[in-house]
Amino acid sequence: MLFERVRIASVAHTLPEESTSSADIEARLLPLYERLKLPEGRLELMTGIRERRFFEPGTLPGDVSIKTAERAIGASRIDPSAFGACIHGSVCRDCLEPATACRVHDALGLPPRCVVQDVSNACLGVLSGALQIATMIECGQIDAGVVVGTETGRELVENTIAKLNADDTLTRDTIKDSVAPLTIGSASAAMVLCHERLAEGAGRLIAASCHAETQHHQLCRSEGLAQVMHTDSERLMRAGVAAGVENFAALIGECGWEREEIARTFCHQVGSAHRKMMLSELGLPIDRDYAPLDWLGNTGAAALPATLSLGVEQGAVEAGDKIALLGIGSGVNCLMMAVEWLG
């Protein structure tokens, strides 16, 4: 999919203040570690995650999403009356119905003519929402839109710790399916996209490409963040990387880029092994990838856009840079975007 008229006008993020280290989690898993004789430091060694962050107990995703979206809209300098879409794209949501986007839209005071909806696509939710908005802009249906998502993973981690300590049937092999939930952290991210006439700077969306390998949909399952997640991490990693290779080839073929031209990559943050394997298989240098994984953990659908926002804030992206947004989520779904950063 090629785009000619779409700009990423702004990105924003909100991070929790509370930090929980992998060592803290292992201390709470002491009964399990002693029974299975697991070495201390195993969790950080396996995942590359030193710590993750959590919002205060009881925080609703919408509480944070409103603040993050407000920040993104303010940074875009686009009049709220120009917005034609408000999408909430995280795994976490305030309730089963209505859409969390309804509460966010109301709090932001956006026009009633907006498309207002939640988008659910595992760790690709925010990026999928961005693609929907970009397509509407390119087709001339709307002038601007905001997509936001907030992941509040505390309850999933708490439930996983409790279950692991209580299950005396676990072995060193069977515990592997429960490692992924222990990498989860919390974060919020938002993106404002608009027609080029509304924003001279920021990012110009060049192309997007999707690829699905849904025969792998059973490899990562959760009935909700209040439940325990089961993930075949090894098979999911290999299936996701394989889908990423196919999709990345399609993306650069679509926009005519060479790998050497890409100045920065921003990936969905899962674990250090996944990141290393993916970039290697895609033929991209790891030193050009911006990754706060070690101190944020896996923040679900907020991971990639929050990483982009952090990179922009910290000067990791310069005017004229060609950047690749590399999203891979369970399902297995893959969504990638090529963006020229205009400053």
d(CA 29, CA 114) in angstroms, rounded, equals 47
Domain count, the chain: 1
In a domain, 245, yes or no: yes
In a domain, 215, yes or no: yes
pLDDT, residue 225, reads 47
Q: Provide the annotated active-site residues.
A: 97, 123
**What are the backbone angles phi and psi of residue 279, rounded to the nearest 5°?**
-65, -35
CA dihedral 327, 213, 249, 321 (to 10 degrees): -10
**What are the backbone angles phi and psi of residue 259, rounded to the nearest 5°?**
-55, -40
- Token representation of residue 163: 């279950």
Residues with Cβ within 8 Å of residue 305, at least 6 apart in sequence: 11, 13, 126, 127, 130, 149, 189, 190, 191
Task: Look up the domain containing 214 and give its range.
Answer: 201-341
- Token representation of residue 143: 């002038």
DSSP 248-273: HHHHHHHHT--GGGEEEEEE----HH
| Cα distances (Å, whole numbers) of residue 142 to 88, 153, 292, 305 | 17, 33, 34, 22
d(CA 121, CA 78) in angstroms, rounded, equals 28
H-run or E-run covering 154: helix 154-166
Query: Whose structure tokens read 């509304």?
Result: 198
Looking up residue 228, the CATH number of its domain turns out to be: 3.40.47.10
Beta bridge pairs of residue 2: 207
d(CA 75, CA 96) in angstroms, rounded, equals 31
In a domain, 258, yes or no: yes
Query: Sign of the CA dihedral 73, 74, 78, 80?
Result: positive
In a domain, 299, yes or no: yes
Q: Vertex 122, ends 104 and 274: CA angle to 5°?
A: 130
- Is the Cβ–Cβ distance between 304 and 126 less than 8 Å? yes
Q: Vertex 54, ends 72 and 12: CA angle to 5°?
A: 10
- Is the Cβ–Cβ distance between 328 and 314 less than 8 Å? no
Q: What is the CA radius of gyration of the chain?
A: 19
In a domain, 45, yes or no: no
Burial of 36 (0-12, 13-18, 19+ CB in 10 A): middle
Closest alpha carbon to 127 in 158, 98, 149, 103:
149
d(CA 63, CA 92) in angstroms, rounded, equals 12
pLDDT by 10s per residue, the chain, length 343: 999 999 999 999 999 999 999 999 999 999 999 999 999 999 999 999 999 999 999 999 999 999 999 999 999 999 999 999 999 999 999 998 999 999 999 999 999 999 999 999 999 999 999 999 999 999 999 999 999 999 999 999 999 999 999 999 999 988 888 888 899 999 999 999 999 999 987 899 999 999 998 887 876 777 654 466 777 777 877 888 888 999 999 999 999 999 999 999 999 878 888 899 999 999 999 999 999 999 999 999 999 999 999 999 999 999 999 999 999 988 889 999 999 999 7
Under DSSP, the state recorded for 55 is P
pTM: 0.94
Residues with Cβ within 8 Å of residue 12, at least 6 apart in sequence: 68, 69, 71, 72, 75, 189, 190, 309
d(CA 333, CA 314) in angstroms, rounded, equals 29
In a domain, 219, yes or no: yes
Classified as helix, coil or strand, 205 is strand
In a domain, 147, yes or no: no
- Is the Cβ–Cβ distance between 226 and 251 less than 8 Å? no
End-to-end alpha-carbon separation of the chain, Å?
23
Burial of 69 (0-12, 13-18, 19+ CB in 10 A): buried
H-run or E-run covering 84: strand 83-88
In a domain, 308, yes or no: yes
- Is the Cβ–Cβ distance between 234 and 257 less than 8 Å? no
